Structure 1
Amino acid sequence: MSTPIIQAIDVWKEYGDNVVLERLNLSVEEGEFVSIVGASGCGKSTFLNLLLGNETASRGKLLLNGEPLPNEPGPERGIVFQKYSVFPHLTAVQNVMLSDVFAKAPVLASLFGKAKQQAYSQAMAMLDKVGLTEAAHKYPTEMSGGMQQRLAIAQALMKKPKILLLDEPFGALDPGIRKDMHKLVHQLWQEHKLTIFMITHDLSEGFSLGNRLWVFDKHRHDAQHPERFGAQVTFDIPISKDSDAARFSEEMKPIIDKSVA
């Protein structure tokens, strides 16, 4: 039996007396695509930050390939935020090269000779994968929102992570561009054999992209002191690509809406 790529064992996250997450017991196999939905403020982004290593669990264990997950971001985990997380003073290819710059020359923040050429070639190959070859030498301000988000994805994938974290990556895009981005992410998921965790407020998006849907909500409530109890995964729904995702999401929507209202 294979070791899960991510495993949460009785994980809690608290800030003083405020309990954000409690009693998380989850297991994710390599190559799964987990869509995450839930009400605002229920701990979805906190959980993503735990996976990234920006936050540490208050209690319990979070494991990566059976070992304690490092308490800092690492190359095996890439992230894409809703707000385009690219550097405005760098061109597209320079943005994508940046991970190699920091890895190989953290003090000088620059590459030279063969190392620079190799990083440039790899960055151009990644830009080609996300359809940005023609925009390689443009600055983010010269690019549309969809192009900037493609650039952020290329930047996240440059170090060949095994896990990709998506924090509402398409929320700021119009419907037409979102559809194109869905195709791109689905293609990259399969091509790179990624394990993906994606937060979304769009239930149909969660069903159409993922092969598993998590709903974050509180099992326990205290109206006078809501901070006493944290959220858990109240629904863990497997999604078959053979099924009609749109129909399935409509059938589940009333149940999930009630749980996250």
Structure 2
Amino acid sequence: MSAISVSGLWKEYGRQVVLEHIDLEITSGSFVALVGPSGCGKSTFLKMILGDEMPTRGQILIDGEPLRPEPDIDRGVVFQRYSVFPHLTVLGNVLLALELSGSSFWGRLWGARRKKARAEALDMIECVGLSAAVKKYPSELSGGMQQRLALAQALILKPKILLLDEPFGALDPGIRSDIHQLVQRLWKEEGITVLMVTHDLSEAFTLGTRVIAFDRLRKRPEETSAYGATVTFDMKVDKPVEPPSELEAELQEAQRQAAQ
């Protein structure tokens, strides 16, 4: 897990101020939903956490350390458009991340290392429910299946932070609900910190443990370039306590009896 600290953050493109006065403390294991109108800098903020964009002013710390100036395996990302390789199968797409990280010069693994990586990739593919499609290419998959594949790609390297940039907007409601459940399960199982950009307030409050809104405080035409968006709303979302599983219930009962 990773804590994120953002202080005095500004982002400008020439004379255009996109974000200003951003100060946030995000605890490890949070699921933060970022909402706000189009053009208010939500995706830009996500790109700065990823390391794809650098702040104009201010700093971002991950677990107290300055953010590395480029994307790395500690930060996974899933975009709205499926970021998968069309010429590779499902297995090839997921395996590629392990091969590139394990052998950056050749981009391939061999022998026992490849066997181990293949087993890890197959486990992740099973985890996202694509075991029956291991040999299929992205063009043979539905939108929901492609998004599952993108999640598998992002999670196979076990990132500490998962960044989701409107990843469910193009999905049908039924498929979106299935992916919501999958993301929540993986978030809980892996213990990662999640930042998700969405325009869907229902989605934000359903998935997030915290909802943060970005917006411009000054919206007159002559002010839109000189002033950027900032945090206008920050709310913790209380989740209902889930009933314990059968195993957890048995452990709790055994602990209760032992304490008597």
The two structures have a TM-score, normalised by structure 2, of 0.90
Identify which of 17, 20, 33 aligns with 1:19: 17
Letter matched to residue 62 of structure 1: I
Identify which of 195, 199, 212 aligns with 1:201: 199
Q: Please give the root-mean-square deviation of Cα atoms over the aligned residues, in Å.
A: 1.4
Distance (Å, rounded) in 1 between the aligned partners of 2:180 and 2:106: 37
Identify which of 173, 187, 190 aligns with 2:188: 190
Identity among equivalent positions (%) equals 53
- Alignment partner of 1:92 is 2:93: no
Alignment partner, residue 213 of structure 1 = 211
The Cα offsets for residues 126-148 of structure 1, whole Å up to 9 and x where unpaired, read as 00110011111111011111000
Distance (Å, rounded) in 1 between the aligned partners of 2:215 and 2:66: 26
Distance (Å, rounded) in 1 between the aligned partners of 2:126 and 2:60: 35
Distance (Å, rounded) in 2 between the aligned partners of 1:124 and 1:29: 31
Alignment partner, residue 254 of structure 1 = none
Letter matched to residue 61 of structure 2: L
Letter matched to residue 182 of structure 2: L
Letter matched to residue 210 of structure 1: G
The Cα offsets for residues 80-132 of structure 1, whole Å up to 9 and x where unpaired, read as 00000000000111111111111122222222111111110000000011001
Deviating more after overlay: 185-194 vs 104-113: 104-113
Distance (Å, rounded) in 2 between the aligned partners of 1:127 and 1:121: 10
Letter matched to residue 130 of structure 2: L
CA contact (8 A) 1:10 1:61 kept: yes
List aligned pairs for 1:1-261, cutoff 5 A.
5-242=3-240
CA contact (8 A) 1:4 1:27 kept: no
The two structures have a TM-score, normalised by structure 1, of 0.90
- SS where residue 60 of structure 2 aligns? strand
- Deviation of 1:223 (Å): 2.4
CA contact (8 A) 1:222 1:228 kept: no
- Deviation of 1:222 (Å): 4.2
Letter matched to residue 156 of structure 2: M
CA contact (8 A) 1:37 1:216 kept: yes
CA contact (8 A) 2:212 2:233 kept: yes
CA contact (8 A) 1:36 1:198 kept: yes
Letter matched to residue 186 of structure 1: Q
Letter matched to residue 238 of structure 2: S
Q: Which has the larger radius of gyration?
A: 2
Which ranges in structure 2 are unaligned for 5 or more consecutive residues? 242-260
Letter matched to residue 155 of structure 2: L
- SS where residue 167 of structure 2 aligns? coil
Distance (Å, rounded) in 2 between the aligned partners of 1:117 and 1:145: 29
Alignment partner, residue 245 of structure 2 = none
CA contact (8 A) 1:167 1:198 kept: yes
Alignment partner, residue 255 of structure 1 = none
Distance (Å, rounded) in 2 between the aligned partners of 1:6 and 1:53: 13
CA contact (8 A) 1:11 1:58 kept: yes
Which contiguous aligned blocks of 4+ residues in structure 1 show a shift greater than 3 angstroms?
A: none
The Cα offsets for residues 157-190 of structure 1, whole Å up to 9 and x where unpaired, read as 0110111000001011000000000000010110
Distance (Å, rounded) in 2 between the aligned partners of 1:96 and 1:119: 10
Distance (Å, rounded) in 1 between the aligned partners of 2:223 and 2:229: 14
- Deviation of 1:220 (Å): 3.1
Q: CA 1:199 to 1:120, structure 2 compared with 1: closer, same or farther past 3 Å?
A: same
